[in-house]
Amino acid sequence: MALPKLLDQFQSTRLARWRKLTAEVIARSDAMSAWHDTELRNRGLELQWQAKSGSDLSKMLPEAFALIREAARRSLKMAHYPVQVMGAIAIFEGGMAEMQTGEGKTLTALMPAYLRSLPGRGAHVVTVNDYLAERDAALMKPAYESVGLSVGCILNPLSTDDRRAQYACDITYGTAKELGFDFLRDRLRIDAKKNAGGTEEPVQRGHYFALVDEADSVLIDDARTPLIIATEEPDRPSRLELFEWCAKTAPTLLLHQDFEFDPHKREATLTDEGCRKVVLLPKPGLVATIETEQIYRQIERALTALLGFLHDRDYVIHDGEIVIVDESTGRMMEGRKWQQGLHQAIEAKEHVEITARTLAAAQVTVQRFFRQYAFVGGMTGTAAAVRREVRKTYRMPVTVIPTHKPCIRQVLPTRVFATWDAKAAAIVEETEQMLDQGRAVLIGTPSIEASERLSRELQLRGHPHKVLNARFLKEEAEIVSKAGRARTITIATNMAGRGTDIILDQDVRQAGGLHVIATEIHSSARIDRQLVGRSARQGDPGSYRFYLSLEDELLRCLETEVVLRLRERAKSVGTEELPIEYTKTFHKAQRLLEKLGLRNRKMLLKLEDQRFKSHRRMGLDPFLELIDDHS
């Protein structure tokens, strides 16, 4: 039997078992509706005692799930649908549940987090950003507390003592970044206590269970970059002068003659001719004292900063500092820096204060961090596409959970244009048509720069609108709360993707719901699915359409000659709008980037496993005793 057919059969068998278990949970929960609040709480305390005494959690599942479902019905005015119970079972059993956007994953998480917390060893609910961690913890807290459990939330900034108190709670919400960095800081505390007379205790009390929301984003997309706690390396004046000289020199070098640039790896490499040119260039006094090989490497970083990293796409300048923007979420990653002199190369390019280089004091990859947990489960709206990678890396089976209501999302044909200007004009025109119908419009853009460029087009046409990107983080909740109102336009980066629930006014629902305009195809189809999934949630009406142009960022991953031929062919069409067949090139580029991403993640995982094993063999701590590139 073919593997896909075997997996489908296995999933069908699993779903059949879960349906039977779900029916039992709901029947028990309905029976508990007659209980007094005190009875519900007392039974919750009894279940805690049973779990701490060593009872099998799998056998406790029907009653525990029923209890927390009834608690949610009373305290949150929400009771789990059968499909949410099925998703909860999948997560509890160590799987990743694919639940379509709008199916209520936050409520689903309540059940497995509750059951896994009963032994008293702590359950961590991991979200993609602080906003969702704080929101979900506050939203679910009444249900947990009604059955005798405490809830914590890890946010930045929190003092060490406050963090320790939050981790001491039965259930703790936080981002993978916060939890991972606390893990590394604890390793440093343990090391200091062991070797340097330190007295500070760890803040975390172990790694028993992690429930990862938007699991493909956290476990796959974020796995490209390790979490690093760094110490500053005082920069010598010669090094600072080198950064500035390289930033001035890089724009004078010629592509293909002096250097080659790989857009896939975002990496520049000097040619022999380029090396000769750099050697012969006059250098200021301090730079002249630096080794030639070191100058070559920093020139290459300056070229990479110039061509591979763009302002308002990859980073923003915030309070005079370079702040990285997360590609998949559109959010600022404050406190994070690119390594090995790249961050300083970007600072020199943008003429901001050059910060000290950092040396890694502690490091862990996302994959390695989540392997510390005894049990891990996840949920997301977009897991099927990466099910093989998830199973191989985390040993988590992916199960697609049926929807509670049929999805009635309308898919409008993609439109392709020769130029960005023509595309923008068509987007504005369609937006106006939707406003005339009384609908709400969400326009998704790939970057801050793109969102603000489109904002200017709407301003010229006199259309009031809101922009949601990394610059407007404090206004996020307010912007999202109003995005479902009639004749409202919201332009957003990927910040409006995962976890964003746009509530529609009744008149918008009657007019056809939220219309999503995707202004580009992203580097991952999963990000596209998250965006269009903002419309037609939970049986609501809604629609979406993609608008593309031959000037889109995505096509930069293709060979220059391919793009030039495409543009030449487009001229023969005779109109700005191109035939639908042109979309094939965009999907080809997307698949190319997805394959590259998979290859890079596999390579990172392989190197990390090799490093981890070699450190263990030598008796070294693989999280702390690192080899850093000082060049």
Angle made by CA atoms 372, 374, 377, in degrees to the nearest 5: 100
d(CA 89, CA 109): 10
Domains belonging to the chain, first-starting first, are 3-226+366-400 (3.40.50.300), 235-355 (3.90.1440.10), 409-589 (3.40.50.300)
Residues 6 or more apart whose CB falls under 8 angstroms from that of 469 comprise 330, 448, 451, 452, 492, 493, 495
**Lowest model confidence (mean pLDDT) among 77-86, 270-279, 453-462, 497-506:** 497-506
Q: Which helix (H) or strand (E) holds 564?
A: helix 560-571
Which residues sit opposite 466 in a β-bridge? Answer: 490
Mean pLDDT of 294-303: 95
Mean of the per-residue pLDDT values of the chain: 90
pLDDT of 74: 97
Residue range 551-577: average pLDDT?
83
pLDDT band at 24 (very low <50, low <70, confident <90, very high): very high
Q: What is the mean pLDDT of residues 397-418?
A: 92
Of 260, 254, 342, 368, nearest to 621 (Cα)?
368
What pLDDT does 1 receive? 46
User: Which region among 86-90, 92-96, 250-254, 496-500 has the lowest average model confidence (pLDDT)?
Assistant: 496-500
Strands of 60-122, DSSP E: 96-98
Q: State the pLDDT at residue 571.
A: 80
Phi/psi class of residue 417: alpha, beta or left (left: φ > 0; alpha: ψ in -120 to 50)? Answer: beta
Neighbour count for residue 445 (Cβ, 10 Å): 26
Number of H helices, E strands in the chain: 22, 22
Which amino acid, one-letter code, is at 490?
Answer: T
pLDDT number for residue 8: 60
- Say which residue, 361 or 159, is predicted with more confidence: 159
pTM of the predicted model as reported, rounded to 2 decimal places: 0.83
Band (pLDDT 50/70/90 cuts) for residue 181 is very high
Round to whole Å and give the CA distance between 605 and 78.
Answer: 41
Tell me if residue 44 falls in helix, strand or coil. Answer: helix
- Residue from 441, 443, 440, 431 nearest 510 by CA: 440
Report, as an integer, the average pLDDT of 449-458: 93
- Backbone phi, psi, residue 422, to 5°: -65, -40
Q: Indicate whether 387 pLDDT > 80.
A: yes
- pLDDT value of residue 256: 93
Distance of CA 580 to the CA centre of its chain: 31
Q: Which amino acid is at 45?
A: L
> How much is the pLDDT for 292?
93
The pLDDT tens digits of the residues spanning 208-228 come to 999 999 999 888 888 777 888
Residue 320's SS3 state is coil
Q: Which residue has the higher pLDDT, 540 or 9?
A: 540
Give per-residue burial for 556-565: e unless 16+ CB within 10 Å, then b: ebbeeeebee
Residue 244 neighbours by CB under 8 Å, 6+ apart: 348, 354
Q: How far apart are CA 526 and CA 447, in angstroms?
A: 17
Segment 561-571 shows an average pLDDT of: 81
Q: How many Å apart are CA 599 and CA 389, to the nearest integer? A: 11
Summarised one tens digit per residue, pLDDT across range 187-203 is 999 888 887 777 789 99
pLDDT confidence of residue 10: 62
CA dist 267 and 252 (Å) reads 17
Contact 103, 401 (CB under 8 A): yes
Whether residue 554 has pLDDT greater than 70: yes
Q: Which two tokens stand for residue 349?
A: 């390019």
Tell me how many degrees the CA angle 475-330-84 measures, rounded to the nearest 5: 85
What is the per-residue pLDDT for 630? 47
Report the alpha-carbon angle 224-468-526, nearest 5. 40
pLDDT (tens digit per residue) in 91-149: 999 999 999 877 889 999 999 999 999 999 999 999 988 888 999 999 999 999 999 99
Q: Collapse the DSSP code of 378 into the 3-class scheme (helix H, G, I; strand E, B; otherwise coil) and give the result.
A: strand
- In this prediction, residue 497 has a pLDDT band, given cuts at 50, 70 and 90, of low
Phi, then psi, of 623 in degrees rounded to 5: -90, -25
Distance CA 190, CA 623 (A): 12
| pLDDT at residue 626, rounded to an integer | 66
Please state whether 574 falls in left (phi above 0), alpha (psi between -120 and 50) or beta: left
Greatest mean pLDDT among 427-441, 498-512, 591-605 lies in 427-441
Alpha helices in 309-335 (DSSP H): none
Tokens (6 digits) for 59: 């056998």
> Distance between CA 568 and CA 489 in Å, rounded?
35
What DSSP designation does 224 have?
G
Instruction: Count CB atoms within 10 A of the CB of residue 506.
Output: 8
**Token output for 128:** 């993609």
Q: Round to whole Å and give the CA distance between 163 and 154.
A: 6
CA–CA dist 577, 417 (Å, integer): 4
Residue 265's pLDDT band, with cuts at 50, 70 and 90, is: confident
Mean pLDDT confidence for 229-234 = 75
Of 27-31, 50-54, 250-254, 321-325, least confident by mean pLDDT is 321-325
What DSSP character marks residue 98? E
User: What average pLDDT does the segment 487-505 reach?
Assistant: 82
Average pLDDT over residues 620-627: 75
Q: Which residue type occupies 17?
A: R
Using pLDDT thresholds of 50, 70 and 90, give the confidence band for residue 496.
low
Q: What percent of the chain has pLDDT over 70?
A: 96
